[in-house]
């Protein structure tokens, strides 16, 4: 009866764990790799899991045999031989095999040189968003990294404030962003798609809301995106958007944000030159649409308490015009 209760508790816990683990907005599955580095790491993970499982079963089996079969323990020279074989030789061989496999994976995930990389991107961590400065080709954006499919992309990771960690589970392991230091890292996706990245080092109140997306796309689409990003901001055409630009340029917005082609050149917050081309706002936490953008600009702390951005003190028509303008920035 007690056994049944135990079993039920274990199964229930597993079920709860399973359902809670799917609470995250998009899949970030380390066991479903989409790039060569993540693939090597996942394969090694399976080897460790299966080998460890088999050894665990063998040890438990031997323990059960020793406990249940009376006077089954070997003594004398036979006992010594068992200790040498099962206690020293076998673990030695297993550790040696794992060491060699580990070394192979380290070689597979070696960071490529700048000349081998399809792009070189500096990623700067901020509380709580990601500054993305492409060095080759040259462009600036935030919280969204586009890469060409099937090619390695070199990353130079650093931070403006505290330690963060760059992690796209389906593409590679984690790498820290440390103030005053540049860590080189790389990612590669072997199929087109969108991969969610997150900060993997506790960095303050909104650590959990420090997301980004990696968009892997065919070379032509990537090239088109680069070309679009390199252009200065579009000139607003309709009256309201033009008015919105005046509102933007006459408020404190410009102290933190850059819109290339205007006199807004702040660099404390994300570059907004092509804001409307991005899928999400607030470092990945909300889809970009008029309602979310309005809520965010009017009261960022309502969405992300503690965020550095102050609420905009703009109302009525000016506020609507400002949204009209921001949504033209493709």
Least spacing, CB of residue 304 vs ligand CUA, in Å: 13
Side-chain-side CA neighbours of residue 41 (13 Å):
19
For ligand CUA, which stretch binds (CB under 6 A), given 19-27, 104-112, 203-211, 251-259? 203-211
- Taking residues 24 to 63 in sequence order and writing x for each that binds ligand CUA by CB under 6 A, - otherwise, the string is ----------------------------------------
Strands 211-217 and 144-148: parallel
Q: Token pair 């809670």 is at which residue?
A: 20
Contact predicate 276/326, CB 8 Å: yes
Strands 129-136 and 119-126: antiparallel
What residues from 98 to 137 belong to the interface with ligand CUA (CB under 6 A)? Answer: 125, 128
Using alpha carbons, select from 218, 277, 214, 187 the residue that is nearest to residue 28: 214
| Nearest CB to ligand CUA, comparing residues 244 and 300 | 300
What does the alpha-carbon distance between residue 51 and residue 54 come to, in Å, rounded to a whole number? Answer: 5
- The neighbouring-strand residues paired with 197 are 212
- In the list 199, 213, 233, 293, the residue contacting ligand CUA (rule: CB under 6 A) is 199
> 89: buried, middle or exposed (CB in 10 Å: 19+, 13-18, 0-12)?
exposed
- In the list 210, 293, 303, 309, the residue contacting ligand CUA (rule: CB under 6 A) is 210
- In the list 140, 201, 217, 271, the residue contacting ligand CUA (rule: CB under 6 A) is 201
Q: How many residues bind ligand CUA (CB under 6 A)?
A: 9
> 72: buried, middle or exposed (CB in 10 Å: 19+, 13-18, 0-12)?
exposed
| Nearest CB to ligand CUA, comparing residues 123 and 326 | 123
What does the alpha-carbon distance between residue 103 and residue 80 come to, in Å, rounded to a whole number? Answer: 33
| Nearest CB to ligand CUA, comparing residues 128 and 296 | 128
Contact predicate 102/44, CB 8 Å: yes
- Taking residues 263 to 302 in sequence order and writing x for each that binds ligand CUA by CB under 6 A, - otherwise, the string is ----------------------------------------
Residue 236 is given by DSSP the state P
Least spacing, CB of residue 157 vs ligand CUA, in Å: 12
What does the alpha-carbon distance between residue 27 and residue 170 come to, in Å, rounded to a whole number? Answer: 9
Q: Token pair 């006077």 is at which residue?
A: 71
Least spacing, CB of residue 126 vs ligand CUA, in Å: 8
| Residue 202 binding ligand CUA, by CB under 6 A | yes
- Taking residues 157 to 176 in sequence order and writing x for each that binds ligand CUA by CB under 6 A, - otherwise, the string is -------x------------
Least spacing, CB of residue 243 vs ligand CUA, in Å: 36
> Can you give the binding site for ligand CUA, defined by CB under 6 A?
125, 128, 164, 199, 201-203, 207, 210
């Amino acid at each position: 009866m007690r056994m049944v209760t135990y079993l039920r508790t274990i199964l229930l816990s597993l079920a709860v764990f399973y359902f809670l683990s799917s609470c995250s907005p998009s899949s970030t599955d380390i066991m479903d790799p989409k790039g060569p580095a993540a693939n090597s790491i996942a394969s090694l993970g399976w080897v460790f899991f299966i080998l460890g499982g088999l050894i665990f079963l063998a040890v438990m089996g031997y323990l059960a045999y020793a406990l249940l079969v009376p006077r089954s323990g070997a003594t004398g020279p036979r006992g010594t031989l068992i200790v040498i074989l099962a206690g020293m030789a076998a673990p030695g061989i297993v550790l040696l095999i794992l060491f060699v496999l580990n070394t192979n994976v380290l070689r597979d995930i070696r960071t490529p040189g700048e000349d081998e990389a399809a792009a070189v991107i500096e990623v700067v961590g901020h509380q709580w968003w990601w500054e993305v400065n492409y060095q080759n080709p040259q462009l600036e954006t935030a919280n969204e990294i586009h890469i060409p499919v099937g090619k390695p992309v070199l990353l130079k990771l650093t931070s403006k404030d505290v330690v963060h960690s760059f992690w796209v589970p389906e593409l590679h392991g984690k790498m820290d962003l440390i103030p005053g230091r540049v860590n080189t890292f790389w990612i590669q996706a072997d199929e087109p798609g969108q991969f969610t990245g997150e900060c993997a080092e506790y960095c303050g109140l909104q650590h959990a809301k420090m997301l980004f997306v990696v968009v892997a796309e065919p070379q032509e689409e990537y090239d088109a995106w680069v070309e679009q990003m390199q252009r200065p901001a579009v000139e607003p055409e309709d009256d309201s958007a033009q008015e919105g630009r005046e509102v933007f340029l006459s408020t404190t917005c410009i102290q933190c944000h850059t819109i290339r082609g205007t006199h807004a050149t702040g660099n404390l917050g994300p570059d907004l030159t092509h804001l409307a081309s991005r899928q999400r706002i607030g470092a990945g936490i909300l889809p970009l649409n008029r309602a979310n953008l309005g809520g965010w600009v009017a009261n960022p702390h309502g969405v992300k308490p503690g965020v550095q951005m102050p609420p905009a003190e703009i109302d009525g028509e000016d506020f609507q015009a400002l949204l009209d303008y921001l949504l033209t920035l493709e």
